[in-house]
Amino acid sequence: MTAPRTLPQPPAVTGCSLIAGALVVGDAGEHRSTNPADGTPIEPAFGLVGAAEVERAAAAALACFDDYRARSDEDRALFLEAVAAELEAMRPQLVERATAETGLPSARIENEIGRASGQFRLFAREVRLGAFHGLRRDSALPERTPAPRSEIEMRKIPLGPVAVFGASNFPLAFSTAGGDTASALAAGCPVIVKGHSAHAGTAELAGQAISRAAERTGMPAGVCSVLFGSGAVVGQLLAAHPAIAAIGFTGSQAAGTALMATAAARPRPVPVYAEMSSINPVVLTRDALRERCVAEAAGLVGSLTLGSGQFCTNPGLVFVEESPESTAFRSEIASAIEATTGQTMLTAGIRAAFDAGVERMEAAGATRLAAGAPGPGPNAPGPLVLLTDAETFVAASAMHEEVFGAAALLVTYRDTAELHAALDALGGQLTATVRMTNSAADLEFARALLPRLERLAGRIIINEWPTGVEVIDSMVHGGPFPATSDSRTTSVGTLAIERFLRPVAYQNLPAGLQPAPFVDRVLPGRVDGELHGS
C-alpha cells in the first residue's frame, strides 16, 4: 500500500480507494472497468486492497462512531445536504465516467445524479423532522400501589458502522452514494462502501463527493470509506468484521445469501438488509385486454425493455386467462417485441447470465413467443417473451427464478384456482401488479386477489407498470425472501432509516444524564400513550 494522498482538485478518477478521507492505492492486484459497448478497458487501473485496508477503514469508522452519532440533527442534515451539492457539482465528471463504464445514455446518468442528490436532501429533511428518534416517555407513578413506577423514556440510537455493497444496475442511486449510504449516514452510522468493480471510477468519484462534504461540514473523516477489492476477500472481510454493525446490499441472490451466512456465523451476528431477486408478476384481466389490448401490449414491452430490462422491478412474469382476448394479446406482444432492438447491458457477465437464464427457462419447457433484434456490440441481446401455461409453470421451479434483462414469461391460466396456485408457487417479490378495469367483475376479482398479493410482495400496483421506484416517504422497496432478506424493511424512502436504528429505554434517568432528544422535548413522540408533535 502506498502512502495516502489528498483528494484531487478538480475531481478526477485516480484508481484509489478512499479510507477516512484519504486516497489509498492497494497492492493486492489491479482492476480496470470495461466499456460494455465495445469491451475496451478504461483507465486508470485500480489498485485493489486487502485485509490491512479493511482493518484500517473499519477502525476509522468505529473510532468516529460515538463522535458522529452525537452530532446534532441540524449538523447531520447539513452534512447530507453538502453531499448532495458535491454530487451535483461533480455532474460533468460523473456523466462522462458513468456512461463509459455502464453503456447507459447520458440522460439516464443525469437522472441518477438528480435522484442520488435528492435522496440525500430527503434524508436531511427526515433528520430535521426528528421522528426517527422514536421518542416515548411514560411518566413516573410514585403513588401507584402495590409498587410505584419510575419514569421510563425510550429513543432509537444508531447501530454502528455499516458496510454497503453497491448495485451494478444503478451506478449512483443504488451504489456508493445511494439510498443505503444516505439512510445509514442519516441514522448516525459511519459507512464503508465496497465499491462495485463494474463502475469503479463512478464509485470513486461519488466517494470523493462524500469525503469532501464531510470535510466541509466538520464531520469526522472516518464517516465514509470506499474500498475496491475482490468481493470474495474484501466483501467477506467486511461482513465478518466485528466493527461492522449492519450490512446494506443490492445484487444477486447468491451474493446476498453468502453475506447473510457470514453475518449470521459471526460470534455476534448482525442484520443484513439485502435486496436480491424479483420477477414482479403482472396479472392482466380479460376486461382490460378487451378494452385496450394494443395499449397493454405496448405498455408491457416498453416497461420490459426500459434500460435493457436491468431494473429490479422489471415485469418478468405476466399472467393472462386463456381466452380470445389473450390470444389477441399474444399477437400484439409479438408484433411489439419484434419491432425492438437490444440495448447494451451493463457488463459481459450480466449478458452471459441473461443468456443462461433464457436457456434455463426453455429447458424447463417455455417456448419463444417472439424476440427482437440484437443491438450493436457484444452485450446487446434482443428482447424476448417466452410462453407457457400455469400447470407447467407451477411444476417447473426453474421458471420461478429471475432472468435479469429484457425477457418476460407469459403464463396462461384456465381459471382463478390455477392463477392462485401459480402465484402461490412464487417466492417473495418486490412488486405485484394488476392491470384491470373498473367493471364489477374486475373489482371482485382484484378484491379476492389482494390478500394473496399482500403476502407475496412489498408493493402492489394497479394499472401502472412496475418499472421505477419513487423516493418518497410512503415507498416500500422490499418484500418477502428472496426479494429481500428482511420483509419488514425498505431500501427506498425515508422508512429506510429504521434499518440502522435500535431502541434503548432509560429508567429513572436523572435530568443531568438525559440525551439531547429528551431534553428538547419538542420532537415528535409518544407521551403517556398519546402522540405529541407529529
Active site residues: 275, 312
C-alpha cell read off for 520: 428538547
Sign of CA dihedral 238, 239, 242, 247: positive
Nearest to 473 by CA among 492, 488, 501: 492
Reading the block at residue 259, the C-alpha cell is 453475506
Sign of CA dihedral 99, 190, 263, 495: negative
402 and 356 in contact (C-beta within 8 Å)?
no
Neighbours of 421 (CB within 10 A): 15
Residue spans of beta strands (DSSP E) within 132-220:
135-138, 152-158, 162-165, 191-194
Residue type, 278: S
- C-beta of residue 74 within 8 angstroms of C-beta of residue 248: no
Q: Are 180 and 226 in contact (CB under 8 A)?
A: no
CB under 8 A, 24+ apart: contacts of 513-516:
514/153, 515/155, 516/72
List the beta bridge partners of residue 502.
157
User: What one-character DSSP code corresponds to residue 48?
Assistant: P
Say how far residue 415 (Cα) sits from the centre of its chain.
Answer: 35
Q: In what order do the strands lie in the sheet with 152-158?
A: 501-507, 152-158, 135-138, 525-527, 530-532
DSSP 223-248: GEEEE-S-IIIIIHHHHH-TT--EEE
Residue 381 CA to residue 367 CA, distance in Å, equals: 17
Continuous segment of H or E residues that includes residue 300: helix 286-305
**Residues contacting 356, CB < 8 A, separation 6+:** none
Cis upstream peptide for 220 (omega within 30°):
no
CA distances from 383 to 307, 334, 356, 371, 467 (A): 11, 11, 14, 6, 16
Bridge partners, residue 165, by sequence: 194, 249
Cβ proximity of 176 and 207 under 8 Å: yes
Question: Which residue bears the cell 410514585?
Answer: 142
Residue 321: CB atoms within 10 A of its CB come to 20
Place of cell 407451477: 394
What's the rounded Cα separation, in Å, for the pair 222 and 163? 13
**∠193-194-196 over CA atoms, to 5°?**
115
Decide: 345 and 381 in contact? Cβ < 8 Å.
yes
**What H or E segment, with its residue span, contains residue 119?**
helix 106-129
